[in-house]
Amino acid sequence: MIVNMSETATENQIEHVIERVREAGFQPHVTRGATKTIIAAVGAGGRRHELEALQAAPGVENVVAIAQPYKLVSRQTKPMRTVVHVGPVTIGGPDVVVMAGPCSVETREQILSTAHAVKKAGASMLRGGAYKPRTSPYEFQGLGEEALKLLAEAREQTGLPVVTEVMSTEDTDLICEYVDMLQVGARNMQNFALLRKLATTNKPVLLKRGPSATVKEWLLAAEYLLSGGNPNVVLCERGIKTFETETRNTLDLAAISLARELSHLPVVADPSHGTGKPVLIPPMSKAAIACGADGIIVEVHPCPERAWSDGPQSLTFEQFEAMMQSLSEPLRGAAGLSLARSVGRAAAAD
């Protein structure tokens, strides 16, 4: 349930309602807007009728049910958009954020050269896998801590904050020592033990949509993070499984707009895994931004044909640079349709 306080509600009246929500057996989550305060009563096993009765408490405008099963993630609970800070980078603000880097960290030379190249082209965050979820146990599984050290070195040299995937609860504390943002991979979207663990960290989380997950399931996965105490969550659409076989996955553009409608959390798109084809990455990046995406995450490799994972979908430095230039051009050449938002430039100075 949500208790909407009136514009004229006093601090005492707000405090009183918060207390009453606790007494009724729920956890109060308070959102203070410019003019109004919203108190969401969340949890199971409380006494609902006591919340409904708060309609009569001083300073209360109304008490309404939260329509969706995801409570804290819903825009009903928090109408203002969430802005997530990752080091000097802001996700969910006016600028589109570009995260770029290899699928996997392979060598010092590979990750450092990529970090410098993507920064030069205008990316504002570096991606790179240290622990890789591979379909086959015989494929490269990631360099682990060695990769984390190299990512930290790349950040030191470029100033780009780093995002990397966490696959298990046991690795979380170690990974937190090295990186700025934790990625929950598509295959782990419903690893509830992992979500609960990441909820207790102080790092922002990039939550990928599972390949077969509905938007509701995706938002409920985010609810695990928020209800567990971590409000800094960015959703990532990375394509879903459909009957189509020409593309690796089907990038669900509507889900980007829908997630931003249903939730206050920022949403980014991953056109690399979403299509599996370099030629489709620039147009799908533009499409995602036109759909409201707050950013994109793209795989870039110094030599895709030699990549240890996801080479066929990785952009070369040149392709990435050309894409970055095209992102700031009008959507349709002479038609003059321009992107509503600018692509953010690397925050750190050259």
Point out which residues bind ligand PEP (CB under 6 A).
103, 129, 133, 185-187, 208, 238, 270, 273
27-32 vs 37-42, strand pairing mode: antiparallel
Least distance to ligand PEP, CB of residue 87, Å: 19
Least distance to Mn ion, CB of residue 250, Å: 17
d(CA 210, CA 239): 8
Least distance to ligand PEP, CB of residue 226, Å: 21
# chain residues binding Mn ion, by CB under 5 A: 2
Q: Which is nearer to ligand PEP, 82 or 164 (CB)?
A: 164
Q: Which is nearer to ligand PEP, 78 or 127 (CB)?
A: 127
Asked if 297 interacts with Mn ion (CB under 5 A), we say no
Stretch touching Mn ion by CB under 5 A, among 4-12, 18-26, 63-71, 96-104: 96-104
Angle between helices 192-199 and 215-227 (to 10 degrees): 40
Asked if 207 interacts with Mn ion (CB under 5 A), we say no
**Binding partner selected for residue 330 from Mn ion, ligand PEP, none, CB under the kind-specific 5 to 8 Å limit:** none
**Binding partner selected for residue 185 from Mn ion, ligand PEP, none, CB under the kind-specific 5 to 8 Å limit:** ligand PEP
Asked if 165 interacts with Mn ion (CB under 5 A), we say no
Stretch touching Mn ion by CB under 5 A, among 98-106, 179-187, 188-196, 232-240: 98-106
**Binding partner selected for residue 208 from Mn ion, ligand PEP, none, CB under the kind-specific 5 to 8 Å limit:** ligand PEP
**Binding partner selected for residue 167 from ligand PEP, Mn ion, none, CB under the kind-specific 5 to 8 Å limit:** none
Least distance to ligand PEP, CB of residue 2, Å: 33
Of 217-256, which residues contact Mn ion (CB under 5 A)?
A: none
Residue indicated by tokens 């807007």? 33
> In the beta sheet, which residues pair with residue 237?
269
**Binding partner selected for residue 238 from ligand PEP, Mn ion, none, CB under the kind-specific 5 to 8 Å limit:** ligand PEP
Out of 284, 310, 323, 324, name the contact with Mn ion by CB under 5 A.
310
Q: Which is nearer to Mn ion, 103 or 154 (CB)?
A: 103
At 91 the three-state DSSP class reads strand
The pair phi, psi for residue 305, each rounded to 5°, is -70, -15
Q: Which is nearer to Mn ion, 223 or 310 (CB)?
A: 310
Least distance to ligand PEP, CB of residue 57, Å: 46
Q: Which is nearer to Mn ion, 294 or 310 (CB)?
A: 310
The answer to whether the beta carbons of residues 163 and 178 sit under 8 Å apart is no
Cβ within 8 Å of residue 263, ≥6 positions away: 70, 73, 74, 75, 219, 222, 235
Q: Which is nearer to ligand PEP, 2 or 240 (CB)?
A: 240
d(CA 280, CA 166): 27
Amino acid at 329: E
Asked if 167 interacts with Mn ion (CB under 5 A), we say no
d(CA 139, CA 184): 20
What are the distances in angstroms from CA 142 to CA 201, 203, 242?
Answer: 23, 21, 28
> In the beta sheet, which residues pair with residue 315?
300
At 219 the three-state DSSP class reads helix
- Tell how many helices (H) and how many strands (E) occur in the chain: 11, 14
Amino acid at 124: S
3-state DSSP helix/strand/coil percent for the chain, to nearest 5?
A: 40, 20, 40
The answer to whether the beta carbons of residues 71 and 42 sit under 8 Å apart is yes
Least distance to ligand PEP, CB of residue 293, Å: 15
Least distance to ligand PEP, CB of residue 340, Å: 26
Q: Which is nearer to ligand PEP, 17 or 103 (CB)?
A: 103
Degrees to nearest 5, angle at CA 344 with 222 and 342: 100
**Which chain residues interact with Mn ion by CB under 5 A?**
103, 310
